[in-house]
Each structure stands twice: as C-alpha cells, then as structure tokens.
Amino acid sequence: MDLVLALVIATVVIALFFDYTNGFHDAANAIATSVSTRALTPRIALVMAAILNFVGALLGVGVAKTIKEILVGFDDMTSQHALTVVMSALVGAITWNLITWYFGIPSSSSHALIGGLIGVGLAAGVTVDWDKVVDKVVIPMVMSPALGFGGAFIVMLTIMWVFRRANPHTVNRGFRLSQTVSAAALSLGHGLQDAQKTMGVIVLALVAGGYGPAAGEREIPYWVVFAAAGAISLGTLSGGMRIMRTMGRRIIALDPPRGFAAESTAAVVLYGMAIGLHAPVSTTHTMTSAVMGAGATKRFSAVRWGVARGIITAWIVTIPAAAAVGAVTYLLLRLVIPGN
C-alpha cells in the first residue's frame, strides 16, 4: 500500500470518528428536553435519535457540498500535503469536541469542524473561500440562534394563549405525547445537518488524495453517505448524558409545552437551513437558543442566564479554538509525514 492511499484511509477513519463524536456530543442536545420533561425515557430517546439521525443523513447532500468547498487550491500541493491539511482540521475539531463533552458544555461540532478547516487552511497557505464562509457559515451562525430564540418564544406565547383556559394537567399530558413527534423531527434534522458535514470532509480527502469522483459520477458517493450516517448513529447510542443534563435542566426547568415549542422551532430552523440554504448550522446553538426562548415566556429571570452565558462563551471560542488546535496539529504532522 502506498503512502497516499494509507493517508486517505487514515483520514476517512478519522472523519468517521469525528462523526461518531458528533453523535454522542450533539445528539444529546436534540433529545434532552424530551427526557427532562419525562416525555421519553433516556434509553428510548437515544434509540429513536440514533435511528432518525441515520434516516436524516440520507435526505440530502447540499450541506456536504458546502463543507467540501470551504478550502480550495489543492492542485498545487502534493497529495500527502493536501491530506495532512484535511487530517489536521479533523484532529482540531475532534479535540475540541472531546474537551467540551468532558466538561458538559454544549458547544458546536459543526463550528469546530469549520474552525479546524479555516485554521489549517491559514497555516498551510491553502485558499479559504471567505465568501462562502461568510454567506454559508457566519450569517447562518447568527441567524439560526436568533430564529430559534424568537421562534420558540412566539410559539410558546401562542400555546399559552390558545390553552389559557384549559386544565394544566391535561395540557401537560397532551404536550408530553406531542414531544415524541417534535423530538423525532429534531433528531431527523440533526442527521440531515451534521452527518453531511462529515460527508463533505471525506470527499475533500478523496479529492486531495486523487481518489475523488470522476466526471459524471455522484459528487457525494453512496458509500460515503451510508458510512457517515452509520457513524453518527452509533455515536448517538454511546452517550451524551452529561450534555443532556445541561440542556434539559440547568438552563431552565422545562415543562412539556415549552419542550415542544423549543424542539419544533429548532427542527424547522434546521430543515430550512439545510434544504433551503445548504448552510451548515449548529444543532446545539439552535436548540439551546430555542430552549432559552421558550423558557423566557415564563419570565426572563427563570432562565439561568449564568449557565447560558457560559454556553454562549463556548460558542464564541469554538471556531478560533478548533482553528488553533488544527493549525498546531498541521505544523506537527508536516514534520512526520513524508512529502510535506
């Protein structure tokens, strides 16, 4: 086996490991509210999320194409050098995922990956498509939490008005059942968004190594789609309870109507961004903001803004932190991988 093929295989394996960490890191965010309101048991919620993550990953490739096109200009590099770039970006993202998972911080795997790509691109002198970064990453990164907060706030106000004279016990029981649907929709949206990001990186590695799809073939091969879908599903089944506790209780103690409002709003935002804009937005950011928006209808002081402030800080530092780790990894790997 030659070095280039070995590096391609290693990069694909690392990409699938990133997808796996994404599963246990981010999928908990999609089901935390349903577990905290006792709409679903943790075991049932995780199995449901794993299945729907897999299905969601099969529903489109627009986000994958966006990720694949963030870095351009590999033509002037050796295959070994180009693969070192992609591998380093993945290591940066995985490292940040594991750090935030360990401390139970709901940061964004999506932005960790994008940060890793940008950091390595700058360190390696690869062209970063800044127009795409601004249009498809930065603007949606700001829009999706704003839509999540505002949308959940409005949906919850509507629920409060419609059921203002209903028996609270009956309303809670009904929305606890409805949360099964909203949690399923959110898990589907998570698969639609997050598995595609790994698909994009795998194809980027294949292109860098000279094994990319030929003219006339699918831009994202079927085996890449199924491999990414399987990895994120397995990751979902592997855990996520640390982050689930933060999302479900520490931000605000949700009741079933507010859980439904948050989940349904976040699902709509994820679908719109993936299908309409092909933008790789964060499930974590969107869902956390929706939880805050739904909780704020109780009263603004009911939201534990100290916890929320820590989460927002993690959002802000994710891209530069992953970029820094990716850049350092790149500089180290250049020293040990021949052909750089």
Q: Give residue for tokens 């790789």.
A: 280
54-110 confidence digits (pLDDT tens)? 999 898 888 998 998 898 877 778 888 889 999 999 988 888 878 877 776 767 778
* Rounded-to-integer distance, Cα 274 and Cα 147, Å: 14
The whole model's pTM is what?
Answer: 0.85
pLDDT for 60: 85
pLDDT for 166: 92
- Number of folded domains that form the chain: 1
| Cβ atoms < 10 Å from Cβ of 316 | 11
CA angle 316, 274, 132 (to 5 degrees): 60
pLDDT for 283: 83
* Rounded-to-integer distance, Cα 204 and Cα 68, Å: 5
Domain that holds residue 296: 3-329
Query: How many Å is the Cα radius of gyration of the chain?
Result: 20
CB 119 within 8 A of CB 325: yes
CB within 8 Å of 215: residues ≥ 6 apart: none
CB within 8 Å of 309: residues ≥ 6 apart: none
Whether residue 340 lies inside any domain: the answer is: no
Dihedral in degrees, nearest 10, Cα atoms 122, 141, 103, 229: -90
pLDDT for 35: 78
Whether residue 336 lies inside any domain: the answer is: no
pLDDT for 89: 92
- The sign of the CA dihedral 72, 97, 230, 279 is negative
Whether residue 335 lies inside any domain: the answer is: no
Whether residue 32 lies inside any domain: the answer is: yes
Whether residue 238 lies inside any domain: the answer is: yes
Q: Give residue for tokens 């794993």.
A: 50
Whether residue 339 lies inside any domain: the answer is: no
pLDDT for 248: 47
pLDDT per position in the chain (340 positions), as tens?
588 899 999 999 999 998 888 787 666 666 777 777 778 877 788 888 889 989 998 988 889 989 988 988 777 788 888 899 999 999 888 888 788 777 767 677 788 899 999 999 999 988 899 999 999 988 998 899 899 999 999 999 999 999 999 999 999 999 988 988 998 999 899 889 888 989 999 999 998 888 888 767 788 899 999 999 999 988 887 765 555 555 444 545 678 999 899 999 999 999 999 998 899 888 878 888 898 899 888 877 666 677 667 667 777 888 898 899 899 999 998 888 876 6
Whether residue 337 lies inside any domain: the answer is: no
The DSSP symbol for 332 reads H
